[in-house]
Amino acid sequence: MNDQSPHPGPHYVANGRMLAEGAALAADFAKQILDTTAPCRDVPAADLDVLDVGCGYGHTAIELARYCRHVVGLEPSCHLLEHARGLLDQSGLSNVEFRQAGVFDLSETSCYDLIVLDNVFEHLPDQPGTLEVLSAALRSGGLLYLLTPNKLWPLEVHYRLPLLSYLPLPLANRYLRWSGRGTDYTDASYAPTWFSLNRMLRARRELTFQYVLPAHLELAAAGRSLHYRLGAAMIRRFPWLWIVSKAFLVIAKKDALPGDNAPLRPVDRPAEGKLP
């Protein structure tokens, strides 16, 4: 999130949906992240130093810490961070650190084996700069797990309004106010297209990247639905359908040979059952 003030933040955060969903799904999110990255990782989960960018209420960071060596959660919102620290106190874990900070407050280099950007990228206006900072923070062989909505998906995912993301920001704000679901779309307005995301990732020549399907389709928010499974099967069969998918899931690995950025290579479902 970009909000650094003490108030709860945009309407989709303040209305409590993010808190309720995060608490209920955090264990599944953590398992999904670790199992989906497992085929690409050089480091076992127990030895991972993890950075969770835009960690929100802290649920996923805490669940990751149950499997990983150390987890740092970055969150610029005072309101969300207060909840995360309270949750940490209740957990009894000592291998989690929450910082009130944004991406550009990060100064570490070569410190993390895994960086998680789970539905955060679309809130960041300087996305090329974000990738540069996060790439620098990865160790050699480290992975970036990037999950973000597709700007071209017809039903905008934060406010659930048809075609909201298609509109210029002034019109989007008017539409949002008319709907009664919010007043300012700016915070959530930076979702990439398949084309723009590819350009940004290819510009980081130290990274190789691939679009992947989740390791466990059934753990995704809509994973038990027939249309989700059918969509995943279609993408597996016809990878060009990533262009019109609801969201993008990308794994990027640091330290490609100079000038050897890997082409897009959507892969089959990664191995399952890596975690208990």
Mean pLDDT per block of 10 residues along the chain (276 residues) reads 43 53 80 96 96 96 97 95 95 96 94 97 97 97 98 96 97 96 95 98 96 90 78 94 96 70 39 35
Could you give the CA distance from residue 216 to residue 206 in angstroms, rounded to a whole number? 29
- Residues contacting residue 86 through CB under 8 Å, at least 6 positions apart: none
What per-residue confidence (pLDDT) applies to 27?
92
Q: Which of 90, 103, 100 is nearest to 190 (CA)?
A: 103
Q: What is the DSSP letter of 193?
A: P
Q: What is the DSSP letter of 58?
A: S
Q: Which of 138, 12, 19, 87 is nearest to 3 (CA)?
A: 12
Q: How far is CA 58 from CA 6, 210, 273, in A?
A: 16, 27, 24
What per-residue confidence (pLDDT) applies to 25?
84
Backbone angles phi, psi at 212, to 5 degrees: -135, 155
Could you give the CA distance from residue 257 to residue 123 in angstroms, rounded to a whole number? 31
Neighbours of 90 (CB within 10 A): 9
Q: What is the DSSP letter of 73?
A: E
What per-residue confidence (pLDDT) applies to 18?
54
**Which amino acid appears at position 15 of this protein?**
N
What per-residue confidence (pLDDT) applies to 233?
93
For residue 47, what are its two tokens?
A: 């030895």
- The answer to whether 135 and 207 have CB atoms below 8 angstroms apart is yes
What per-residue confidence (pLDDT) applies to 219?
80
What per-residue confidence (pLDDT) applies to 12?
58
Could you give the CA distance from residue 128 to residue 258 in angstroms, rounded to a whole number? 18
What per-residue confidence (pLDDT) applies to 264?
36
Q: How far is CA 53 from the centre of its chain?
A: 8
Distance between first and last Cα of the chain: 31
What per-residue confidence (pLDDT) applies to 269?
35
- Residues contacting residue 50 through CB under 8 Å, at least 6 positions apart: 61, 64, 65, 68, 70, 71, 72, 112, 113, 114, 115, 116
Total-model pTM = 0.86
- Residues contacting residue 275 through CB under 8 Å, at least 6 positions apart: 31, 34, 35, 45, 67
Enumerate domains of the chain plus CATH numbers. Answer: 11-151+191-254 (3.40.50.150)
Q: Which residues pair with 254 in a beta bridge?
A: 207
What per-residue confidence (pLDDT) applies to 226?
84
